[in-house]
Structure 1
Amino acid sequence: MTTLPPLPMSRPKLTALAREKLPCSPRTTPRSELIKEKDDIDHYLEVKFKGLSKEEVAAYRNTYKKNICVDMLRDGYHKSFTELFTLMEKWEALREAARVRSVFWLQKPLEEQPDKLDHFYYYLTRAEVAERKKYFEDVYDNLYALACYFNNSEDKWVRNHFYKRCFEIAELIKIDGGKKEAEAHGHMGLLFEEEGKLLDAAEHYEAFHQLTQGRRWKDETGRFLNLLACESLLRTYRLLSDKMLENKDYTQAIRILIKASEIAKEANDKKMEGEASYYLGLAHLAAGELDTALEDLNTYSEISTELEDDLSLGRAYEAIARVLQSQGEMVEAITYLKKFVKLARNNFQKLDVVKASTMLGDIYNEKGHYNKASEYFQQAFDTTAELTNVPLMDETKVHYGIAKAHQMMLTINNYIEAADLSSLNSLLSWKETRSSISPDPVIGDPRRSTMEKI
């Protein structure tokens, strides 16, 4: 958001007094005192300003909003007045609709926000003057200043109104090589993206990207517009691909992510290129194209290693392990997951530790290595206890309990098969106490029974 300088507006004494009396003043004044103040004001005006005109007295008594509107009309800014009046009507309609839906609506009426009214007056009238002279760049700059000023959660609809106005004006500017038009496409893309209209957003971002190709233009923060266009387009393509994957439209999702990967390479940004490879690999994994998925994820892993980005490298290891697990390559999958756990611990990423430990526990549990499974599930449970994440703690507790039950079942089964005196004593002791049973000391093949030994 652009921070605008204070408006260079000088106010006469009466206007300054009028602002002090606005409803937005922090003090609440009883009605009796207001009537008394009005009498005092009338007496003050009569004594001190005998030559004051009726218009000046009315200007002091009217609301600030009405004075702004009167000034616009009196000074000949009829177009600015029309636009401001339309915005004020919509403002009140939105406030009323919000008040009906919720009693906690805190947005103030526009007449209680004189600073916003000042900005409307200052920039709208300057834009109108510039438009009369066909100085469209100045028109754009003034409208964009208003869009930046209203770039907050409360007034985003006002910002969007001026984004649309900027877009209309930008198409008339022919002397800057298309920079304003490119910026306007970027703003319109953001507008549609926030509204969830991703196809419309992608259309504007594509135009933004096309207009900035080969240009060294920068925005007000010093960022290259082409890089900003690439980031915006990649973000939108990824959101579109997520919706396609949800609908199992794998071909379209992969196609749009391939476009995203090409744009990332064109931007010459390694981190962006790695992210594009990661999401493309996940799409291939969802489509069951495991070898292609592995190639893309290995590319992401190599880029993350080159950038020394441990968090991205951990994500790469986790995704590669999922592909290997789908291919039945459990030993390699375990190797990558152990690397993932180590990176997550080194970087204090406890949620990643839980994820990797749970995946390792699942693999060992499936292979029948219940001791190992129990160890990793306990590790996941202990980490969730540190996080005090109750839902996740309950989930890992269930996994841990199942692994412990499998471990106990295997031990009891081995004791039963052994059928020697020591094993029977252990079983009887467990049956009496129902506490944890001592693990079978024999590792590997099930214990042979006493008859088999003989």
Structure 2
Amino acid sequence: MSKMATLPPLPMTRPKLAALARQKLPCSPVTIPRSQLIKEKDDIDHYVEVNFKGLSKEEVAAYRNSYKKNICVDMLRDGYHKSFTELFTLMEQWDALREVARIRSLQWLQKPLEEQPDKLDHFYHYLTRAEDAERKGYFEDVYQNLYALACYFNNSEDKWVRNHFYERCFGIAQLIKIDGGKREAEAHGNMGLLHEEDGQLLEAAEHYEAFHQLTQGRIWKDETGRFLNLLACECLLRTYRLLSDKMLENKDYKQAIKILIKACEIAKEGSDQHMQGEASYYLGLAYLAAGEYNTALTALNTYSKISTDQDDDLNLGRAYEAIAKVLQSQGEMTEAINYLEKVVKLARNNFQSLDIVRASTMLGDIYNEKGHYNIASEYFQQAFDETVGEMNMPLMEETKVHYGIAKAHQMMLTVTNYIESADLTSLGYLLSWKETRSDIEPQPVTGEFTSSTVEDVSQNSEHVEELDFQITKKNET
């Protein structure tokens, strides 16, 4: 569900006591001793008596009481008993959550509600208007006022208040019969978001499915101008993907594939090429995990074609990488190498260093398994150099290990050949290598072996250590 548009600020309807009390704001967050409060109360009473003899008892109370209390008194005095009950319940919950946060030392910086008069004003303004509309049976107006409160409290601190009004909107939306179900569809979408954020994916999927069903064939739009049906498709696809991830983790491949096929059908209905490509990609990965390689290639080729049609190099590179994984699993190493080289080329053109690292590492693994240690070392070094540029320490350590293993294999093969030669020249090279620990490679043309300078493995090692030192020093500063 996309982020809701913030409604423009409305002039707040303030009752008499609240308007008077507003003049003494902002409230002081400092705890004042009771003796000082009593003295201040006496001083206020005396001042009011001397200077404002025309003030009523209620007006004096407006200056003496907290703003929160004045809001509640006004609600009761003006006959908004349901609004008072709802606000009082929310205030109790607010205090309870703050106490829990204080004990856990989390979010303790949030102010008490009595120190946030703007929020109290919004409560009074919209709750009383919603109660008025409900008495008259104007349920659309009730929905709009409650939804305005949900939008206002759509922030990280007050998300639980937003969720409360989402639930209220959902109940009211069932009573609206004159809009063809638009408010009910929106309410299902909001409830789906509520459950999705709480990790309740099955409940979220149920609401999103209702949201999708109610918007089919409709041209309804939200506040930002987006079609509600397209938004419903996006929400449903996202939830299905999250559900399929959990199923794949549990090796429930059949159910994961089933729900992703459903996602593909919904994406086609939404007539959005990007969504269709994404759905095909995740379906292809699910088939790969299940070992159904031919079907995986079909889905991933669809994703590749859509990305090509849209000139989307980033997603095309992702498609090629996934296809290479399938081909590698099938033992088609030559084809896998071709696709991975395309990934590296696309990634370089678009400055995607992490994609280069992944593809180069996969290429290094393939060549290492085939015994082509020189080429494997080159690709692992390429991956390592990219991680150095990104200053990514975890990846740097990982690629450094791959590079070291490939170099060790390369040296082991050469040393073995020298040992098997069993002649004085080879023995001389071996003794030289033992003394210097340099890299030794065969002559590329004659097949004879020679000793290289002491500057390959040892220098690479020194280079890596120097980089590690520089990065650590940079992080410390």
> What is residue 299 of structure 2 aligned with on the other side?
296
What is the percentage of aligned positions where both structures have the same residue? 82
CA RMSD of aligned residues (A): 2.2
Alpha-carbon distance, 1:16 to partner: 5.6
> What is residue 6 of structure 2 aligned with on the other side?
3
CA displacement, residues 393-419 of structure 1 (integer Å, 9 cap, x when unaligned): 111111110000000011112222334
CA displacement, residues 159-198 of structure 1 (integer Å, 9 cap, x when unaligned): 0110000000001000000000000000011011111111
Distance 1:39 1:237 in 2: 65
Distance 2:352 2:178 in 1: 51
- Which of 233, 239, 242 does residue 230 from structure 1 map onto? 233
Alpha-carbon distance, 1:18 to partner: 3.3
> What is residue 407 of structure 1 aligned with on the other side?
410
Alpha-carbon distance, 1:277 to partner: 0.3
Range with greater deviation from structure 2 (135-144 or 377-386): 377-386
Alpha-carbon distance, 1:423 to partner: 2.7
Distance 1:295 1:177 in 2: 41
> What is residue 259 of structure 1 aligned with on the other side?
262
| 1:72–1:78 Cα contact (<8 Å) kept | yes
| Residue 384 (1) aligns with residue 387 (2) | yes
> What is residue 325 of structure 2 aligned with on the other side?
322
Range with greater deviation from structure 2 (26-35 or 232-241): 26-35
SS of the counterpart of 2:210? helix
Structure 1: which 5+ runs fail to align? 449-454
Range with greater deviation from structure 2 (107-116 or 222-231): 107-116
- Which of 309, 314, 329 does residue 312 from structure 2 map onto? 309
Q: Give, as a single letter, the amino acid of the residue that structure 1 aligns with 2:403.
A: Y
> What is residue 159 of structure 1 aligned with on the other side?
162
Q: Give, as a single letter, the amino acid of the residue that structure 2 aligns with 1:93.
A: A
SS of the counterpart of 2:442? coil
Distance 1:91 1:27 in 2: 19
| 1:136–1:173 Cα contact (<8 Å) kept | yes
CA 1:70–1:49 in structure 2 vs 1: closer, same or farther (change >3 Å)? same
CA displacement, residues 216-274 of structure 1 (integer Å, 9 cap, x when unaligned): 00000000000000000000000111111111111111010000000000100000000
Distance 1:26 1:385 in 2: 50
- Which of 375, 378, 386 does residue 378 from structure 2 map onto? 375
Distance 2:18 2:330 in 1: 77
SS of the counterpart of 1:403? helix
> What is residue 353 of structure 1 aligned with on the other side?
356
Q: Give, as a single letter, the amino acid of the residue that structure 2 aligns with 1:402.
A: I
Range with greater deviation from structure 2 (65-74 or 410-419): 410-419
Q: Give, as a single letter, the amino acid of the residue that structure 1 aligns with 2:156.
A: S
Alpha-carbon distance, 1:43 to partner: 4.2
Distance 1:114 1:214 in 2: 44
SS of the counterpart of 2:176? coil
Alpha-carbon distance, 1:389 to partner: 1.4
| 1:151–1:159 Cα contact (<8 Å) kept | yes
Distance 1:247 1:59 in 2: 61
CA 1:4–1:39 in structure 2 vs 1: closer, same or farther (change >3 Å)? farther
CA 1:183–1:103 in structure 2 vs 1: closer, same or farther (change >3 Å)? closer
Alpha-carbon distance, 1:367 to partner: 0.3
Alpha-carbon distance, 1:371 to partner: 0.2
CA 1:12–1:125 in structure 2 vs 1: closer, same or farther (change >3 Å)? closer
> Paired residues, what number?
446
Q: Give, as a single letter, the amino acid of the residue that structure 2 aligns with 1:19.
A: R
CA displacement, residues 256-300 of structure 1 (integer Å, 9 cap, x when unaligned): 000000000010000000000000000000000000000100110
1:48-87 equivalences in 2 (<5 Å) = 48-87=51-90
CA 1:44–1:15 in structure 2 vs 1: closer, same or farther (change >3 Å)? farther
Q: Give, as a single letter, the amino acid of the residue that structure 1 aligns with 2:265.
A: E
CA 1:24–1:318 in structure 2 vs 1: closer, same or farther (change >3 Å)? farther
> What is residue 106 of structure 1 aligned with on the other side?
109
> What is residue 95 of structure 1 aligned with on the other side?
98
Q: Give, as a single letter, the amino acid of the residue that structure 2 aligns with 1:367.
A: K
> What is residue 429 of structure 2 aligned with on the other side?
426
| 2:233–2:266 Cα contact (<8 Å) kept | yes
Distance 2:227 2:87 in 1: 34
CA displacement, residues 91-116 of structure 1 (integer Å, 9 cap, x when unaligned): 11111111111166212111111111
Alpha-carbon distance, 1:390 to partner: 1.3
Q: Give, as a single letter, the amino acid of the residue that structure 2 aligns with 1:315.
A: R
Normalised by the length of structure 2, the TM-score is 0.89
SS of the counterpart of 1:154? coil
| Residue 396 (1) aligns with residue 399 (2) | yes
Normalised by the length of structure 1, the TM-score is 0.93
- Which of 177, 180, 185 does residue 182 from structure 1 map onto? 185
Alpha-carbon distance, 1:52 to partner: 1.0
Distance 2:291 2:249 in 1: 15
1:14-33 equivalences in 2 (<5 Å) = 18-19=21-22, 21-22=24-25, 24-25=27-28
| 1:190–1:201 Cα contact (<8 Å) kept | yes
Structure 2: which 5+ runs fail to align? 450-477
> What is residue 368 of structure 2 aligned with on the other side?
365
> What is residue 250 of structure 1 aligned with on the other side?
253
- Which of 416, 423, 446 does residue 419 from structure 2 map onto? 416
